Amino acid sequence: MSQPSLDALIQPPGHGEGLWHLDVLWTLKIPAAATGGAFSLSEQLIPKGSAPPVHRHSREDEAWIVLDGEVTFFLDDEQHTAGPGTYVFGPRGRAHSHRVESETARLATLLFPGTCEDFFHSTGRPARSLTLPPHEQPDFEKLREGMREHGIEFIAPPPAPSR
C-alpha cells in the first residue's frame, strides 16, 4: 500500500498557527494535517515558572529541544535541568512535566503521532498574536476533561516553582 503524497512545508520565523494554552503560546510549525497525522511539530514560548500538570500520554511520544532559556524536565522520578541545545525524549507511558527557570523559554516540541494536537485545539484558544497570552485563570475542569478525552492521564499538579 502506498503512502499518500504530502506537500512540502516551510514555516519561516514568526509564522504558523498560534494557540494560547494555559500561559503558553504554541505555534504549530508543522501541523499534524501536513504529515498525514504522523507527527506534529510546534514551538512553545513559555514564561518563567510555567509548568503543565504532571501527566502521562497513552497515545503519543513527546520530544523537546530547548531553543532558548533554561527548563527543568521531570520524567517519572528523574529531574534534569536543560539549556539551549538540549534534546529530551518522553516516551508514552512515562509521567512527565517541565518548568521554566529563566525569564522565558522556547521549546521545539514534537508529538508523534500528531493526534495530541487535537487536545491543544480543544482546550486552548486561537492566539490573537504570536505572543504570550494575557493572564487568564485557566479552566482546570475543561483541561482535565480534555485530557481524559485525549488519552492523557492527570498525575499531579504542576511542579512548584523553584526558589
Q: Which three cell numbers stand for residue 6?
A: 504530502
pLDDT given for residue 1 in this prediction? 58
pLDDT given for residue 74 in this prediction? 97
- For the entire predicted model, the pTM comes to 0.92
- The 3-state secondary structure of the chain reads CCCCCCCCCCCCCCCCEEEEECCEEEEEEECHHHHCCCCEEEEEEEECCCCCCEEEECCCEEEEEEEECCEEEEECCEEEEECCCCEEEECCCCCEEEEECCCEEEEEEEEECHHHHHHHHHHCEECCCCCCCCCCCCCHHHHHHHHHHCCEEEEECCCCCCC
Contact of 116 with 147, CB cutoff 8 Å: no
Q: What's the average pLDDT block by block, 10 residues per block, for the chain (163 residues)?
A: 78 95 97 96 97 96 98 97 98 97 98 94 96 89 93 93 73
The domain ranges of the chain are 17-129+139-156
**Alpha-carbon 115 to chain mean position:** 12
pLDDT given for residue 140 in this prediction? 86
pLDDT given for residue 113 in this prediction? 96
Instruction: Give 17-129+139-156's CATH code, choosing from 3.40.50.300, 1.10.10.10, 2.60.120.10, 3.10.150.10.
Output: 2.60.120.10
pLDDT given for residue 57 in this prediction? 96
Q: Which three cell numbers stand for residue 25?
A: 503560546
What is d(CA 5, CA 137) in angstroms, rounded to the nearest whole number?
42
